[in-house]
Structure 1
Amino acid sequence: MEEEYEAEEANLPDSLYIYPQIEYNGDTDSLFFNDQKRRIDFVLVYEEEKEQSEKPIFQKHRRRREFYEDSLMDMGLELEATRSVSDGKTVFVKVHLPWEVLCSYAEVLHIKLPLQPNDLSAPPPAHSCLTKHFHPSADLIPAETEYFTAPFERSRLGSFCIRDRGLFFSPSVRTRMAQYILSRASYELRGKQSKFGINKLLDSGVYKAAYPLHDCKFHEKAQDERCPSERFLLYKEWAHPMNFYKTQPLDLIRKYYGEKIGIYFAWLGFYTSMLILASVAGLGCFIYGYRSQETSTWSKEVCDPLIGGRIVMCPQCDRECSYWRLNSTCESSKKLCIFDNYGTLVYAVFMAVWVTLFLEFWKRYQAKLEYEWDTEEFLEQEEQARPEYEAKCIHEHINPVTKEKERVPYTKCERSLRLSCGIGTVVFWVLLIVASVVGVIVYRLAAFFTFSARMRQDLRALEPLREYVSPQMATSITASIISFIAIMLLNLAYVRVAIWITDFELPRTKTEYENSLTLKMFLFQFVNFYSSCFYIAFFKGKVVGHPGEPVYWLGRYRNEECDPGGCLIELTTQLTVIMGGKAIWNNIQEVLLPWVKNMILRYYKSAASEEAIPRWEQDYRLQPVGKLCLFYEYLEMVIQFGFVTLFVASFPLAPLLALLNNLFELRVDAWKITTQFRRIVPEKAQDIGAWQPILQGVAILAVATNATIIAFTSDMIPRLVYYWSFSVFPYGKHTNNTMEGYISNTLSVFNIKDFSPQSRPLNVPYWFHNITSCRYRDFRNPPGHPKQYEHNIYYWHVIAAKLAFIIVLEHIVYFTKFVLSYAIPDVPTAVREQIKREKYLTQVILHEANLKLPAVHIAPLAPLAPLPDGALHGTDTETHGL
């Protein structure tokens, strides 16, 4: 069979290139063919290696390229080739879609085009004298004319607002149609089965690149008046670093890059603006905690030489650890008061309400954009199948809806097998992440033992440093750094695995592909980034036993204990390291690496000056746009959203850090796609897709995590129980509503004679004289009690209070979220009325046009060019008619 195919390829005609190779005319800013009339809608790039032209692989590439370009011309496209002005071996094939082809595919894809100007009254722009400086210049970027639109039909050509054929189809629409055709043109015919699609040719190296052109240089306008210079306007008013304070020109972003890019930047800008309120509240909570650290009763008791200085604490590890005084944790106790105070409780409730308002107001804003951008009736079930899916359709089955035969790439059994393999691989990698977390925990246990051995309290030289450098702090910082490195390494590996699994599952549409990949990646990232934080928040220090009977990991390592003030400060440290490290690493990847690559490329290809090379070659020197570039941007922000909401009770400054990062991220992403990357192929999108339910799920989980952090990780509930038990309603002497004696109340007593031989410390400090007992953090009966070292009644009071707090707080917050979600409609009333009014007027316009338009006025257009077998199924994602 393979020999027959090679023989068939050998018999292909050598004269498939019927378009000329034109010499470059020297117009560096031109977006047209050499005749200066036909617009360049797409560019294909390949390299000719004359010295390697006899190799079979290069001959195969040449035959496929010739067959593919011949298919494009059969489909009505016009091609023109030009060699590079710098190396001579690179060939640029320029693609143009004639008017007949544009009309044919606009009808096939049901692209909505303008009928007549919109006469509905629009609210005036809210630009006052004070706020106009925060908006893009209206002189450079004027407001666009609104139109009534309808899916294009050639039979109703006279109904559409066609003032200039060259401008009727915008460059972004022309690019989308060109991409659609390029993705379905054949490059190989093996028997009755054809292979098609530009993506396969790019992956196999037949072409080096395929991209649409930027309309000008980013730092100067085009000389040709037919070029709108939208890239220059975007750079000047949006991507330039000096305009960080201005709002985004979303309509121009959508017009130049498409709705999918526009909706991302709209969401990122809305999220960033909502973070301002959360940041102000978080900063206020931090200031309140900072000012109260010196007046906190429990912090004073820890630092007081007559209270904390006289409390001897039990060793926190076996043999190598020694006794220590409570006031050695004075500084960490003060820092803990910054984050562990009553203001944190109020802030956690505030953030639960904030996240609900954020999601509800985003739905309203998204509905407004859907109406303005003509995507409110976007139907995913009518989306086109992916070329990769169509190319593998070899099985037949009966469609349950149409009862007709159609081709599918796999049987039900094969589909189940593919899904099972994907699920098994995902579970394996999740378990691998859990194993890495366990490895970090083991490191923490071993590192604490080592640091404790090196920082023995009997070394007087280290005594002044113990207030600032403790074994717990050293262990927490180093473990956080190691955990971050493990997270990034596993992330790099899993990205490829997730893409491979999703490709293997072979989803039908691009939306299904992205949703499947989104679910896998978020599940992995959730476990990868948050597992160490969940360990510190909910497991560390919870099951440690008591000094006489400690709990061991793996039968060897003694379980970690928290500081006397709790594990909250360690959770804060972990969050700071991961959030800060992730932001720095992402900016290096997104900004520094593309910029360095472009600089190196310009250095090695500097034979011709930048002013002498044409637009298509200038764009070829830019970085290629990845297939999932937008996916990674969403993933980065959603993971950040998780840090801001899931653990905000332990770190009120998280929204402020996220705000500062996003202000930088917004302009960096704008600068990156405008100056460093080739132009992105515009795509249609109605909303942010699968990320919306993920955000809602994170918001729901955040209520439970913050309530649990306040109850079990912070020391707030024990303080409240002590306050109400011993201060407001004292069992004994009235204490005048103060927290005096709280620290002593939270520390149990242990007789040092009850140490087991493997736990007894080898060395004791120089100040340890005539001391028979030590203290540890727990609520247990003292030595000599009939049930010594068992939990006392106060312990169960505290546990009951913690559980009651979680239940009450969750019910109050969830009820508030439900009320807000019900009270705030997803679509504003004004937008809903405008949608109904526009539908009505559009139907009237089309109906009157059909009555007045005689049949002879319908211009005959070229029929739809043939496509590969199975390449067209259904209608386009833009099918949202009237």
Structure 2
Amino acid sequence: MVEEEGLRAKSLDYSLQRNESLSAKETSFLISTESEALFQKREQSKDSVFFTDGIRQIDFVLSYVDDMKKDSELKAERRREFELNLRKTGLELEIEDKLNSEDGRTYFVKIHAPWEVLVTYAEVLGIKMPIKLSDIPRPKYPPLSYMLGPVKLPATVKYPKPEYFTAQFSRHRQELFLIEDEATFFPSSARNRIVYYILSRCPFGEEEGKKKIGIERLLNTKTYSSAFPLHDGQYWKPSKTSYINERYILCKNWARFSYFYKEQPFNLIRDYYGEKIGIYFVFLGYYTEMLLVAAVVGLACFIYGLLSMETNQSSIEICDPKIGGQMIMCPLCDEMCDYWRLNTTCLHSKFSHLFDNESTVFFAIFMGIWVTLFLEFWKQRQARLEYEWDLVDFEEEHQQLQLRPEFEAMCKHKKMNSVTKEMEPHMPLCNRIPWYFVSGTTVTFWMALLLSSMVSIIIYRLSAFASFASFMESEATLQSVKSFFTPQLATSLSGSCLNCIVILILNFFYEKISAWITKMEIPRTYQEYETSLTLKMFLFQFVNYYSACFYVAFFKGKLVGYPGKYTYMFGIWRSEECDPAGCLVELTTQLTIIMIGKQIFANIQEACQPLIFNWWRRRRARTHSEKLYSRWEQDNDLQVFGSLGLFYEYLETVIQFGFVTLFVASFPLAPLFALINNIVEIRVDAWKLTTQYRRPVAAKAHSIGIWQDILSGMAILSVATNAFIVAFTSDIVPRLVYFYAYSKNSTEPFNGYVDNSLSVFLIADFPNYTAPMEKRDFNTCRYRDYRNPPDHEDKYAPSMQFWHVLAAKMTFIIVMEHVVFLFKFLLAWMIPDVPKDVADKIKQEKLMTVKIIHDFELKKLKEDLNFECNDFSTGTKEKESRPVSSKISV
């Protein structure tokens, strides 16, 4: 830019000297014309992704601020050493002076990888490149696919490049590959991946015999402010040159909220961001498609509950003034609470029927089969993706063998790798044990903190329940005043909101700590690092998000005791009771608030946080508006996606998967809410990646990794949790036992169920410290349990019906689990992990690739032999003529 200003001044001086005879008007016109031409050139360079020569493409950008702190000289020396070593590897660097930057403080180092560097490291990384146009046809659309016309993208967007046969690149076989233009042969994602590989392994100094290597360490020490590959253009307009602006195409066809119903351009995402990000969006899109089926079935179950709500016999009996209005219920807390009539919970019992009806069993079984189909079909989708994106055998060839630069820098010992038979850095176990101990202690401490917060919330619920019951259950309750907000529901709502806030706060702190302790463990490879972090984060969030739901589903109301002999927590707080209609509606409330609250908070955070931060950074950076706001400055002002950006996206999706599967029997609308969230999530993620974040470094991945195992484990656990919810939290099994064994009305078999499910307690048997202060004129009260009446010889002991119901619950769990697991294993056995057509195509492509390489080598061998034969024949003729002359001379 300094040269540009100098050329401008020289050209103007020359023009003025050359045109001294021109009039003042002509001279001013000349100056304005040249200034306008230069201004247009500067405006065009705002979108430039090339060096100043306009030829060499910018593959990576480093930035730094030359501060005047005490360690500025050390940082400057590290930068000089680092950039010198980068040049030694063959990379070409161009430095933009801080005077040309918008803020007047930031230097930019632009990096270009020339052809020799690209071909060398493409071979090292095993990058596959095209060798021949494929004649294998693309998969055809299924029948009736024309009906999905509005959902489809244009063919040029869905398939931006033709299909090729590919092979791992080799410098010695360059003639084999389809190299039309060296500048565009390697896609930009492969170029930035190669440059980052060099940056992450380039040394910049040595200390105490250990090499200091890698751009990550320089970023951690603030030697460089940032390191990122450039976006290939503006997202709001196409490129004015012949260079294809993939970012604009993605923004137009993918990152628009008005395209929420459209399919995603997976191949274009993969070409621009790399396979690792591409496979995440494939998984999220596939999961959303499968949720559509579950959402429709869940909505049908909800509609059934809605339509049958007024005809539900239990609700009719509870609401009937002659039945529920005559049943006096025992107090909900000691001393402060009064007696209440059953029909005051009329509205609550109707609402409970929405989620606790006959369709609950069907939906629980359906979701057990759905989750199996989801995982099995995903394996097939993943296998097809591996074939289409040339990721077959990628795992064992590269990812497992790629060491983290931080691991290499920390290691003083070396050990022979049993696979590669080469010496490589080795960290002895004795050096890792202290950090493993710190890691284990930290995780244990946070789990204990999490459990203590859960106990605190339970104590709050117990205290709040007594408070709500004392002022909500007043004299009005004995006058049959119907109210939707019962003490149970009021406690559940307030406790769930408090729990949601605590969850978000604990997550914020634990995320920072888990990332730090994982780094301190010094994992050997990137895969080990991600696996360790994933297990820590998922274990914590699993307990954090689901512990409250597990408490309501499996513990609340199970160990209450009975009037006169209640169970107390810490000897102070009386255990919570379930509503006479059951605890399922409270579980639904808990699940709804946590699930929807988390999703709303996450979407608002993902959308607003980068928008606000980018606005603030641009506002601070643009202090010299007359200067050029170049492409590298624009990208530098964007947010950093980071190496863990995708990890948190997977974690969010898997936690949502747990809400959809683990407790879905209590909330059939969970898949519908998840579907709506994911439709928004896809476009929010696409929008922020394309417009609000720096371009991430492209990375390869052939699967979703350890998340696959986590999903499989949650699928198995979901069968058990839903079976227990239907058996112990729902009221279905007790109703069935009454229907088949205790009903005395053959025409209306459910008549009398409410009266049958409530036991009788003699008020005179209340201990003094638990009985209500105010005396009443009735002798008995009712409570939810199956116990003997006061006139029985073994009064208040579990009745025979109690054991019948318990046996029926255990039988239901065993039968449901076996039926669902039988279907799961049958489906897993019937559905192959790799579809037959994909397996055939993989074999066909391997054979074709081997044949192409064989023909190439054979052709090359023949050419070499012909060349040698020609040399030999020419040499023989010369040899035959030379001896004659030599003999003559002799």
Give the TM-score, by structure 1 length: 0.91
Residue of structure 2 equivalent to 1:755: 766
Residue of structure 2 equivalent to 1:818: 825
Contact 1:22 1:34 in 2 (8 A): no
Contact 1:457 1:463 in 2 (8 A): no
Q: Which moved more, 1:805-814 or 1:57-66?
A: 57-66
Residue of structure 1 equivalent to 2:689: 673
Q: Residues 191, 499 of structure 1: CA spacing in aligned structure 2 closer, same or farther, 3 A cutoff?
A: closer
State the distance in 1 between where 2:215 and 2:105 align: 21
Which residue of 206, 210, 218 corresponds with 1:201? 218
Which residue of 582, 585, 591 corresponds with 1:566? 582
Instruction: State the structure with bigger RCO (CA 8 A, min sep 6), 1 or 2.
Output: 1
Q: Residues 857, 446 of structure 1: CA spacing in aligned structure 2 closer, same or farther, 3 A cutoff?
A: farther
Residue of structure 1 equivalent to 2:753: 742
Q: Residues 684, 643 of structure 1: CA spacing in aligned structure 2 closer, same or farther, 3 A cutoff?
A: same
Residue correspondence of structure 1 range 571-610 to structure 2 within 5 A: 571-607=587-623
Q: Residues 340, 757 of structure 1: CA spacing in aligned structure 2 closer, same or farther, 3 A cutoff?
A: same
Displacement after TM superposition at 1:577 (Å): 0.6
Displacement after TM superposition at 1:744 (Å): 0.4
Secondary structure, aligned partner of 1:95: strand
Which residue of 55, 64, 68 corresponds with 2:78? 64
Which residue of 613, 634, 637 corresponds with 2:629? 613
Displacement after TM superposition at 1:427 (Å): 2.3
Contact 1:43 1:93 in 2 (8 A): yes
State the distance in 2 between where 1:128 and 1:654 align: 29
Task: Give CA-to-partner distance per residue, 1:669-693, whole Å, 9 cap, x none.
Answer: 0001001011111100000000001
State the distance in 1 between where 2:546 and 2:721 align: 12
Question: Is residue 2:773 matched to residue 1:782?
Answer: no
Which residue of 288, 298, 311 corresponds with 2:314? 298
Secondary structure, aligned partner of 2:324: coil
Displacement after TM superposition at 1:72 (Å): 0.5
Contact 2:101 2:627 in 1 (8 A): no
Displacement after TM superposition at 1:381 (Å): 6.4
Which residue of 494, 497, 505 corresponds with 1:489? 505
Question: Is residue 2:844 matched to residue 1:828?
Answer: no
Displacement after TM superposition at 1:139 (Å): 4.9
State the distance in 1 between where 2:457 and 2:316 align: 34
Q: Which moved more, 1:184-193 or 1:656-665?
A: 184-193
Q: Which moved more, 1:114-123 or 1:344-353?
A: 114-123
Secondary structure, aligned partner of 2:701: coil
Question: Is residue 2:661 matched to residue 1:650?
Answer: no
Contact 1:211 1:681 in 2 (8 A): yes
Displacement after TM superposition at 1:488 (Å): 0.9
How many correspondences in the alignment? 823
Task: Give CA-to-partner distance per residue, 1:329-350, whole Å, 9 cap, x none.
Answer: 0011000011000111101111
Residue of structure 1 equivalent to 2:162: 145
User: What amino acid maps onto 1:658 in structure 2?
Assistant: A
Displacement after TM superposition at 1:413 (Å): 2.4
Displacement after TM superposition at 1:424 (Å): 3.0
Q: Which moved more, 1:184-193 or 1:387-396?
A: 184-193
State the distance in 2 between where 1:404 and 1:287 align: 65
State the distance in 2 between where 1:142 and 1:807 align: 49
User: What amino acid maps onto 2:296 in structure 1?
Assistant: V
Residue correspondence of structure 1 range 327-726 to structure 2 within 5 A: 327-380=343-396, 382-383=398-399, 384-397=402-415, 399=417, 406-408=424-426, 410-458=427-475, 467-607=483-623, 612-726=628-742
State the distance in 2 between where 1:758 and 1:314 align: 14
Q: Which moved more, 1:246-255 or 1:482-491?
A: 482-491
State the distance in 2 between where 1:645 and 1:145 align: 40
Contact 1:272 1:659 in 2 (8 A): yes
Contact 1:68 1:185 in 2 (8 A): yes
Contact 2:618 2:637 in 1 (8 A): yes
Secondary structure, aligned partner of 1:702: helix
State the distance in 1 between where 2:754 and 2:553 align: 21
Question: Is residue 2:143 matched to residue 1:136?
Answer: no
Displacement after TM superposition at 1:496 (Å): 1.4
State the distance in 1 between where 2:548 and 2:4 align: 61
Question: Is residue 2:261 matched to residue 1:237?
Answer: no
Contact 2:761 2:790 in 1 (8 A): yes
Displacement after TM superposition at 1:399 (Å): 4.7
State the distance in 1 between where 2:233 and 2:372 align: 42
User: What amino acid maps onto 2:408 in structure 1?
Assistant: E
Question: Is residue 2:221 matched to residue 1:214?
Answer: no
Q: Which moved more, 1:609-618 or 1:311-320?
A: 609-618
Secondary structure, aligned partner of 1:321: coil
Displacement after TM superposition at 1:404 (Å): 6.5
Larger radius of gyration: 2
Task: Give CA-to-partner distance per residue, 1:680-731, whole Å, 9 cap, x none.
Answer: 111000000000010000000000000000000011000000000134xxxx
State the distance in 2 between where 1:368 and 1:132 align: 23
Which residue of 70, 74, 98 corresponds with 2:88? 74
Question: Is residue 2:53 matched to residue 1:35?
Answer: yes
Displacement after TM superposition at 1:396 (Å): 3.6
RMSD: 2.0
Displacement after TM superposition at 1:186 (Å): 1.1
Displacement after TM superposition at 1:497 (Å): 1.7
Question: Is residue 2:133 matched to residue 1:122?
Answer: no
Contact 1:723 1:737 in 2 (8 A): no
Q: Residues 695, 857 of structure 1: CA spacing in aligned structure 2 closer, same or farther, 3 A cutoff?
A: farther
Unaligned runs of 5+ in 2: 6-40, 866-890
Secondary structure, aligned partner of 1:660: helix
Which residue of 53, 58, 62 corresponds with 1:44? 62
Q: Residues 406, 141 of structure 1: CA spacing in aligned structure 2 closer, same or farther, 3 A cutoff?
A: closer
Displacement after TM superposition at 1:111 (Å): 1.1
Which residue of 311, 314, 323 corresponds with 2:327? 311
Displacement after TM superposition at 1:663 (Å): 0.5
Task: Give CA-to-partner distance per residue, 1:421-480, whole Å, 9 cap, x none.
Answer: 3233222222221111111000010111111222242258x9787512221111111100
Displacement after TM superposition at 1:492 (Å): 0.9
Displacement after TM superposition at 1:311 (Å): 0.2
Task: Give CA-to-partner distance per residue, 1:29-85, whole Å, 9 cap, x none.
Answer: 111101111110000011124xx2xx4311111111111111101111100011343
Displacement after TM superposition at 1:190 (Å): 2.8
Give the TM-score, by structure 2 length: 0.90
Secondary structure, aligned partner of 1:848: helix
State the distance in 1 between where 2:750 and 2:214 align: 73
Q: Which moved more, 1:201-210 or 1:847-856?
A: 847-856
Q: Residues 507, 855 of structure 1: CA spacing in aligned structure 2 closer, same or farther, 3 A cutoff?
A: farther
Secondary structure, aligned partner of 1:131: helix
Contact 2:214 2:405 in 1 (8 A): yes
User: What amino acid maps onto 2:827 in structure 1?
Assistant: L
Contact 2:47 2:233 in 1 (8 A): yes
Q: Residues 526, 128 of structure 1: CA spacing in aligned structure 2 closer, same or farther, 3 A cutoff?
A: closer
Displacement after TM superposition at 1:143 (Å): 4.3
Displacement after TM superposition at 1:124 (Å): 3.7
Residue of structure 2 equivalent to 1:170: 187
State the distance in 1 between where 2:864 and 2:62 align: 38
